Structure 1
Amino acid sequence: MVDVNLVASWIVDCEKVRFVSSEYTKDSMLEKVASLKNLIERINKQKDNLREMGLTIEDFEASGQSFVSSLKEFVDTNGKSEEASTFLIRNQVSLLSILKTWHDQLYTRSTSVGANAYEKIKLTDQAFIVHGHNEALKESVARFIERLGIKAIILHEQPNSGMTIIEKFEAHSSVGFAIILLTADDIGGSVLKKDNLHTRARQNVIFELGYFFGKLGRNRVCAIYEDGVELPSDINGVVYLPLDSAGAWKFRLAKEIKHAGMSVDLNKAV
């Protein structure tokens, strides 16, 4: 699936290729050309998905064809033709412009308060649960949202498929909602106030809170916290729900999920 992170990786791959005449050797030139051809082929494979998402691809098709032609001319002249180099760089800039336009459009969609049609189709049946060491709370939240008809995504329950932890995390992060469990797993404080320590969530939990805040937008992220746990001071706009023994957090969580545009029967939250 195409998302803002995939397009960002295309931009990085395109930007890192530099055509500097002083660096030209036959091998390095062919390596640069192969890298860019591979990038265009990867984007071409996603054209149907790009169309489905309402992104304009006609400019890319024209730019991609021109890019391939300029790459061929660049190789034919052994990278020594100033005209070929200039034309190639111009096409590279054009491709970057198209990719950045796509990136901006997808980013705007992912952070908008009103979920658009694409989000409703692609991002409404799963919720990612970020947790620390409190296994009982993790299971309680997972079973509760499944009762609402939402599939719970818990990272360690997903197959590794040869991926690193961060690759696995990214692969399963295209969800409709993220629930962050801030539990008293660590103790810490400022080095300037060594006697003023607080219980806090694991650092990876805070990192993932920030990740989903950026990827999904604040209306699709909700944090549930234990009493006394230090809350992040620089992530504003996220809904923080206190974990109470009466279970009032459940109905409030269900309301937040429904407000994000996901299909939830609030009667099942009671």
Structure 2
Amino acid sequence: MTLDEIKNALEQGGYAINSEKRAGNDLGWQLRLTNGGIVNVFDTGNFNVQGKCQPEIKEALGVVGSGSSNAPSAPGSQKSNNGYTKVFVVYGHDETAKNHLEAMLRRWGLEPLILDQLPSEGQTLIEKLETYTAEVNFAVVLATPDDEGHRAGHDDEKAFRARQNVVLEMGMLLSVLGRSRVAIVLKQQSNMERPSDIQGLIYIPYKDDLQKEAAPTLAKEMSTQGYHIDVAKL
């Protein structure tokens, strides 16, 4: 569908467009709706739906089986014969843990998208994250004990925490992708706070060896979202 065809379908379905902007030089357009939904329209003629009210918006756009993710995918997240290939990665100050995670994903035949390694094209951090999440179907948040904190006046409650940017980006990814498509890999769980108490989040704890302790669960979660991972590579 073209941009105009999608805009017309949304209008006929009773959905008002709040903003319309170019999503990168070669991606297409991002339409933000007043009800909180997002429609990414790609130059290839494909589109996908994110944000709120996804089943209803997909139905208005003529997607069969609107209760599931049947909309054509973004160019970067298109399925090959083996499934999706790109995955968004968020991390803090633990470079070693980040390198281990990135290497593991590449061994699985996936392409990690790491925010600070992607071109900004004059975008703010939030705009940049919004643009590139249109290319993926899953995100991995690496929460490591980089900071310490406690309630004011309660020094005895001091605990390790993930970096604030990690928590912020995690919240944005949960909003855009949904809880079932964001995994939080939590290092040294016994020594740190969980970055959120929202029910239903996917937490994958590990102590020392990310590959050995977290890989099987992470691979299982990603497989349910369309990623094909060779178990021999775990």
Which interval holds the TM-score relative to the shorter structure? 0.5 to 0.7
Aligned residue among 107, 111, 117 for 1:147: 107
Which stretches in structure 2 are left out of the alignment for 5+ residues? 19-32, 39-48, 56-66, 78-83
Normalising by structure 1, report the TM-score: 0.60
> 8 Å contact 2:183–2:201 — kept in the other structure?
yes
- Aligned partner of 1:217 in structure 2 is 178
**Equivalent residue letter for 2:233:** K
Which stretches in structure 1 are left out of the alignment for 5+ residues? 3-44, 61-93
- Aligned partner of 1:170 in structure 2 is 130
Q: For residues 117 and 196 of structure 1, do their structure 2 counterparts lie closer, same or farther at Cα, with a shift above 3 Å needed?
A: same
**Counting helix residues as a fraction of each chain, which structure ranks higher?**
1
Normalising by structure 2, report the TM-score: 0.68
The percent identity for this pair of structures is 31
Matches within 5 A, 1:188-207: 188-207=149-168
**Equivalent residue letter for 2:154:** K
Displacement of 1:119:
6.3
**Counting strand residues as a fraction of each chain, which structure ranks higher?**
2
**1:215 alignment partner, SS class:** helix
Aligned residue among 97, 108, 114 for 1:137: 97
1:103 aligns with 2:37: yes
Aligned residue among 230, 234, 245 for 2:197: 234
> 8 Å contact 2:179–2:201 — kept in the other structure?
yes
Displacement of 1:121:
6.4
Instruction: Give the superposed CA RMSD.
Output: 3.1
Q: For residues 47 and 249 of structure 1, do their structure 2 counterparts lie closer, same or farther at Cα, with a shift above 3 Å needed?
A: same
Kindly tell me the number of residue pairs found equivalent between the two proteins: 186
**2:140 alignment partner, SS class:** strand
State the 4+ residue runs in structure 1 displaced beyond 6 angstroms. Answer: none
Q: Which has more radius of gyration?
A: 1
- Aligned partner of 1:125 in structure 2 is 85
Q: Distance in 2 between matches of 1:119 and 1:125?
A: 15
Q: Distance in 1 between matches of 2:170 and 2:163?
A: 11
**2:154 alignment partner, SS class:** coil
Displacement of 1:217:
0.9
1:69-111 alpha-carbon deviations (Å, 9 max, x no partner): xxxxxxxxxxxxxxxxxxxxxxxxx77389557938753338x
Displacement of 1:233:
4.1
**Equivalent residue letter for 2:92:** G
